[in-house]
Amino acid sequence: MRASALFIPTLRADPAEAEAVSHRLLLRGGFIRPVSAGLYTYLPLGWRVHQKAVQIVREEMDAIGGQEMLCPVLTPAELWQQTGRYEIPEVFKLKDRGGRAFVLPMTHEETVTFHAREIQSYRELPQILYHFQTKDRDEPRPRGGLLRVREFIMKDSYSFDRDGEGLERSFRLHAKAYERIFERCGLEFFAVQAESGMMGGSASIDYLAPAGAGENTLVTCERGDYAADLEIARGIPRAPAFPERLAAPQEVATPGISTIEALAGLLGIDPAATSKAMPVVTDAGTLVLGLVRGDDRLEEAKLAAALGSGHRPATEEEIRAAFGADPGSLGPVGFEGEIVADEALREGQFVAGANRTGWHLRGVEAGRDFEARFADIREPKEGDTCPRCGGALSFQIAIEVGHIFKLETRYSVPLGATYLDEHGAERPIQMGSYGIGPGRIMAAAVEQRHDEHGIAWPRALAPYDVHVVAIESAGAEAAALAERIERELERAGFSVLLDDRDRRPGEKFADADLIGCPLRVTVGKKAVQEGAVDLLARAARSEEACRADDVVTRIRTLWETLP
């Protein structure tokens, strides 16, 4: 394609609104443009990249027996009312002229399950159905360009099986397909166990791509045998330096002390030898005391999983009523209600609030001084060790590029998607759902592969394989040669962007660096005089001279070596 005829509005300066690298570079390179908060148009260049990702996903879905289809975006509200998802605040709701309610769905479980009601017999199972369709979400806070948007295209697939064993098989097929997809897209990624507690123990795998910008924190072990999302990751905290053991808890006056630092400082002890009480109220209205070590933070998602319920912090009034003390002086000793304590408090003696304002207890010991249910409810910290091997854990920011989930009968039961088994018994279909955002793949690729000049696309996602830069001043002969190279490369199966614009070389090089095609061919004076062009690998920035007649051969070879 001729750049002179294309709409590729590159920007010389960073747009003021863009912070994340992928946001900045995709805007500057002319790949995307905002329309409103969290709403982006994919310009021609960006759409080519998006479609590259889509095609890779499609091929791998087809390879596991997925059947592509297409559901409408506009969806009758009744389906969502039946599954109880109509009340989710992120759901866009609207009405037609007759007042009938519709939603713009966030995913298509309801619609696909609606169709799965046509499945009658175990003989028709299993099935994998998928589509690429627009999702809308009324996000409270879109951000980071393509990282979190209000409307995007997602590949969502749904598996239908007769039993848990079948679901397991479909789930594994998807896990394999997803790994191939991200590998083919040239992404560094981790498949990690994801938060699943509240959904009754169903398996869920998150695909996290480490990136400078992202919304997840990926925890990995230095020895490579452990990776998890921070929300569910386990870390082994360092052992506290305990003071001398006491035969019974001993009250100590701590007037005005409300932080752990101040408490540890006052008593002259290790903050890790203290405990922190977090009273919460569950959805059922029960007040529960969460207890973690003083130097730890409570992980809300883990506590929710341990409680099997959502929860909110207790109000000051609720705290006073239950404990008769201020929030800074709460502890487990003497508390009548349920206590969920972190594993780290199982052994040893800790300082805890005395449930008397301005007082703490030293030497509090689980089992002896209070009863609690133990669970892992702390947020891991850098410096913790790996629960598997004892290696050091490190944290990095990551983008969630895919998520697969065992739904079991969460949707088939409310929507009545059942089948008859070989004994004539009616049973609900076992379902799984599996999502990938091509836009997030794009963003993650840019985050992982760029330099100070611009994007260096992995070859699987690049908008064009080869960027041919014709140097204007080299004259008509060079321009003709550039066109010949374009044709030959295209005949050899490469997609080519020919920069034939009447621009100075510096500007063309800068744009080529920004746009980030894997290979660049520069056709200038040397081409006319010596029949030689320059070949540049964008990612490595390694340049070599090459005879014009050998360009196709050389590029074929070089192509195989690229990321």
The DSSP call for residue 151 is: E
Scan residues 105-124 and list those touching RNA (CB under 7 A): 106-107
Q: Does 103 bind RNA (CB under 7 A)?
A: no
- Minimum CB distance to RNA smaller for 365 or for 379: 379
Rounded to whole angstroms, how far apart are CA atoms 177 and 181? Answer: 6
Query: Contact with RNA (CB under 7 A): which of 484, 503, 549, 552?
Result: 503
Q: Does 513 bind RNA (CB under 7 A)?
A: yes
Sign of the Cα torsion 212, 217, 218, 220 reads positive
Rounded to whole angstroms, how far apart are CA atoms 496 and 265? Answer: 67
Residues whose CB is less than 8 angstroms from the CB of residue 75 and which lie 6 or more positions away in sequence, other chains included: 102, 103, 104, 105, 108, 110, 111
Q: Shortest Cβ distance from residue 554 to RNA (Å)?
A: 15
Phi, psi of 554 (to 5 degrees): -65, -40
Q: Shortest Cβ distance from residue 528 to RNA (Å)?
A: 9
Rounded to whole angstroms, how far apart are CA atoms 503 and 511? Answer: 11
Q: Does 131 bind RNA (CB under 7 A)?
A: no
- Minimum CB distance to RNA smaller for 121 or for 529: 529
Count the site residues for RNA by CB under 7 A: 58
Q: Does 440 bind RNA (CB under 7 A)?
A: no
- Minimum CB distance to RNA smaller for 351 or for 537: 537
| Part of the chain binding RNA (CB under 7 A), chosen from 10-18, 111-119, 249-257, 265-273 | 10-18
| Part of the chain binding RNA (CB under 7 A), chosen from 32-40, 179-187, 378-386, 413-421 | 32-40
Q: Does 531 bind RNA (CB under 7 A)?
A: no
Scan residues 468-487 and list those touching RNA (CB under 7 A): 471-474
Give the Cα-Cα-Cα angle 454, 455, 458 (nearest 5 degrees): 160
Q: Does 137 bind RNA (CB under 7 A)?
A: yes
Burial of 525 (0-12, 13-18, 19+ CB in 10 A): middle
Nearest by Cα to 184 from 64, 52, 66: 52
Query: Contact with RNA (CB under 7 A): which of 26, 232, 325, 527?
Result: 527
The two tokens of residue 118 are 């046509």
Q: Shortest Cβ distance from residue 254 to RNA (Å)?
A: 28
The two tokens of residue 259 are 């932080």
Cβ-based neighbour number of residue 392 at 10 Å: 14
Give me the residues paired with residue 419 across strands. Answer: 427
Give me the residues paired with residue 520 across strands. Answer: 467, 536
Scan residues 36-95 and list those touching RNA (CB under 7 A): 36-38, 85, 88, 90
Rounded to whole angstroms, how far apart are CA atoms 136 and 239? Answer: 47
Q: Shortest Cβ distance from residue 32 to RNA (Å)?
A: 12
Binding site for RNA (CB under 7 A): 10-20, 23, 34, 36-38, 85, 88, 90, 106-107, 137, 139-144, 148, 215, 300, 403, 435, 453, 471-474, 503-507, 509-511, 513-514, 522-527, 533-534, 536, 543
